[in-house]
Amino acid sequence: MFDNLSEKLDSALHVLKGHGQITEVNVAETLKEVRRALVDADVNYKIAKDFTNVVKKKALGQDVLKALKPGQMMVKLVKDELTDLMGGEAEGINLSGDPSVILMSGLQGSGKTTFSGKLAKYLKNKKTKKPLLVACDVYRPAAIDQLHVVGEQVDVEVFSDKGNQDPVAISKAAIAHAKANGHNVVIIDTAGRLAVDEVMMTEISNIHNEIKPHETLFVVDSMTGQDAVNTAKTFNERLNFDGVILTKLDGDTRGGAAISIKSVVNKPIKFIGTGEKMDALDVFYPGRMADRILG
Ligand code: GDP
């Protein structure tokens, strides 16, 4: 995960650690390298620039130059700032409803259906939760079948109504079914499209307005880099979602989405997907991710 970025940051900071004397000039040079590494990892230029400016200010403010181990202090400053940029403290999902309704949003192929299954399994393992998965893709019968396969894999009931073309009606019927059958979490998997379009946005907004979910999650493929951030922005403007799920972090992703998304939409990344299997889900901890990136 983020091997390229880690290597580049390591080499940028290594120069500083190796120097006998640290000067304002080589701090500036190091931070320029850090900025380049972030931009290469697909972090938006302005975010990368603001990031290094803040680190520089803090470094000079804290008298890093006179510190006993200035190199290590710089690494810590970069790590802390990276943690902040990715969201500070980890945040859970709102499960206060009975049933708690969780709405999945995102483009087709982002990993919504897979994540819905993973989340159902994760919650089911908590013992006090009895989830219900709901298939709301009224355009692709194959998507409904896929959710049934996922449901079987995690041993969670799936609610679907193949003849019904109205996702709001399906969602309402599913919530009624959940109440009648003791399900305390309802996970609604919605239809996505290959790119943002008005029909999809109107549909997901309608479901959101009518159902008033306790938690709306935006699922995005981390491999799509800056596009992931732009798509997040568009969905957030319409849905004001509660959190981001970043999938496919097990792939050859450069890291830009993980680093920038929080600062662009001001919503936390809540979980990450690290594989196709149903247990390949991790709670997102910004501090741990920063540790991983900086080695
Ligand atoms: P949806 O169209 O948004 O419902 O996306 P799917 O759940 O069908 O996922 C699209 C593809 O991405 C499938 O082949 C999944 O197996 C795969 N996928 C989903 N999440 C992950 C992940 O975290 N890692 C990897 N490697 N593949 C994933």
Q: Which atom of ligand 1 is nearest to the CA of 146?
A: 8
ipTM of the complex: 0.99
Percent of the chain whose predicted confidence (pLDDT) is above 90: 68
Question: Which residues in the chain belong to E strands, given as ranges?
Answer: 100-105, 131-136, 158-159, 185-190, 215-221, 243-247, 269-273, 281-283
Question: Does residue 252 line the site of ligand 1, with CB under 6 A?
Answer: no
Q: With cut-offs at 50, 70 and 90, classify the pLDDT of residue 237.
A: very high
Q: Which of 22-36, 168-182, 253-267 has the highest mean pLDDT?
A: 168-182
Question: Does residue 248 line the site of ligand 1, with CB under 6 A?
Answer: yes
What does the pLDDT read at residue 195? 81
| 130-176 tens-digit pLDDT | 999 999 998 888 999 999 999 999 999 999 998 899 999 999 999 99
List, in order, residues 6 or more apart from 226 with CB less than 8 Å away.
42, 44, 256, 257, 260
Mean confidence (pLDDT) of the chain: 91
What does the pLDDT read at residue 275? 97
What does the pLDDT read at residue 68? 67
Position of tokens 């000039």?
25
pTM, rounded to two decimals = 0.94
Q: Tell me the average pLDDT across 176-196.
A: 94
Question: Does residue 274 line the site of ligand 1, with CB under 6 A?
Answer: yes
List, in order, residues 6 or more apart from 150 with CB less than 8 Å away.
113, 114, 116, 117, 120, 133, 158, 278
189 annotated as belonging to a binding site for a ligand = yes
